């Protein structure tokens, strides 16, 4: 497990794991979800979600990536948001954020607080 994690963000990026951590020393890392103390099946589903994103990105022109339809894009990010919620539930000790270009950044509620804040970022 990655030590000294302050926060965790979930977002799809080409040829990266979907999990990004901010470390206590201020650094960032992009660890495999399986190293974050998550249930094995959740880590696998996060990697599958990331693989699905990679499958729409042309290797020779990553900037031209596009989902087959707006509905497919919405479904992809809804699935990612659901996974991020499961991560927040599995790791209540961490501040978890999710990003979708459709909705912006979302700070997920910690199970004990139920608080939630949505933040739009450029």
Domain ranges of the chain: 5-119
pLDDT in tens, 65-102: 899 999 999 999 999 999 999 999 999 999 999 999 99
Which helix (H) or strand (E) segment holds residue 53: the answer is: helix 40-54
Nearest partner of 92 among 30, 42, 38, 12, judged by Cα: 38
Residue 9: other Cβ atoms inside 10 A: 20
pLDDT in tens, 19-50: 999 998 989 999 999 999 999 999 999 999 99
pTM, 2 dp: 0.85
Contact (CB, 8 A) for 62 and 14: yes
């Amino acid at each position: 497990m990655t030590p000294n994690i302050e926060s965790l963000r979930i977002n799809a990026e080409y040829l990266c794991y979907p999990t990004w951590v901010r470390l206590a020393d201020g650094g960032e890392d992009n660890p495999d979800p399986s190293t974050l103390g998550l249930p094995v099946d959740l880590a696998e589903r996060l990697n599958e979600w990331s693989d699905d994103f990679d499958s729409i990105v042309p290797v020779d022109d990553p900037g031209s990536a596009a989902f087959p339809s707006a509905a497919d894009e919405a479904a992809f990010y809804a699935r990612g948001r659901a996974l991020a919620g499961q991560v927040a539930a599995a790791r209540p000790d961490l501040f978890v954020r999710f990003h979708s270009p459709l909705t912006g950044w979302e700070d997920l509620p910690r199970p004990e607080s139920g608080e939630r804040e949505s933040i739009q970022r450029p």
